[in-house]
Chains A and B, each alone.
Chain A
């Protein structure tokens, strides 16, 4: 059977978190 794969799971998690502040 064909299973639909989640696209979100394959997306890279970028950009990362801010360590200080958002400029």
Chain B
């Protein structure tokens, strides 16, 4: 049979209600399939093209600009209720190419491909000269802060579960305060905090109804005086068990 190239269905606008409806479905799909970091929200529809689909419906190609929210992917809060991260916190944006089909008002995502990157240092410096620039996730100070914070969190209450690090998701140096700030996700193990003290190597990620994810914010301030102790602070939120929710990729990549 003769191959007929797809014809452009019509010339849609990026802010057309139909394009927006498709973009919302695409962003929900992207959030559902996130493997790292934070849930995102739609910032701008860059491009859209519709192609005729036989026998009916259409194929939609979208280019979306998304921005990071403050909800880590382990946070059960729906993405639409999450707060978009402020630009002053060195926001991270993502460029996503999405292919989807629409039939009778129903959308189905076929493929997404996203690339995320922080606001460029130059632009960030211009828009917020005194703000703290994001550090690399493997920055030694960030990593040390996270490990010290998790140790402290596990030690704070010997009656609760013992937690392991799932991933470091953000970190930056606090230049004026001579310190470090970091955010990270955690998961509980099958050990109590007391048991983990002596047999940490035997502790594995909890399973079934006992599985709980958490998200922590930690800061470390180096003391100005030589003889004074440095100051650590850590706050973690542990979420209720979410039936059917697994983050195997995070567990396999970072914990095991």
A interface, CB within 8 angstroms of B? 10-21, 23
* CB atoms of A23 and B11 under 8 A apart: no
- Residue in B11, B41, B45, B46 whose CB lies within 8 Å of A20: B41
Chain B: how many interface residues by the 8 Å CB criterion? Answer: 23
Knowing A20-B84, A23-B119, A23-B123, the reply to whether A15 touches B11 (Cβ < 8 A) is no
* CB atoms of B42 and A19 under 8 A apart: yes
B interface, CB within 8 angstroms of A? 11-16, 19, 41-48, 65, 67, 84, 87, 91, 93, 119, 123
Secondary structure of the A contact surface, majority rule: loop
* CB atoms of B14 and A13 under 8 A apart: yes
A21 to B65, alpha carbons, bound, how many Å?
11
Nearest CB of B to A17, in Å: 6
A19 to B46, alpha carbons, bound, how many Å?
12
Closest chain A residue, CB of each to CB of B93: A23
* CB atoms of B13 and A16 under 8 A apart: yes
* CB atoms of A23 and B43 under 8 A apart: yes
Using A12-B11, A23-B43 as known contacts, list a sample of 12 further A-B pairs with CB atoms less than 8 Å apart, ordered by residue number in A: A12-B12, A14-B13, A14-B14, A14-B48, A15-B44, A15-B65, A16-B46, A17-B15, A18-B43, A20-B67, A20-B84, A21-B67
Chain B residues lying within 8 Å of A16, measured Cβ to Cβ, are 13-15, 19, 44-46
A17 to B13, alpha carbons, bound, how many Å?
11
A10, A18, A23 pick with most chain B CB within 10 angstroms = A23
Closest chain B residue, CB of each to CB of A12: B11
Chain A residues lying within 8 Å of B48, measured Cβ to Cβ, are 12, 14
Chain A residues lying within 8 Å of B93, measured Cβ to Cβ, are 23
Chain B residues lying within 8 Å of A14, measured Cβ to Cβ, are 13-14, 45-48
Chain A residues lying within 8 Å of B65, measured Cβ to Cβ, are 15, 23
Chain B residues lying within 8 Å of A20, measured Cβ to Cβ, are 41, 43, 67, 84
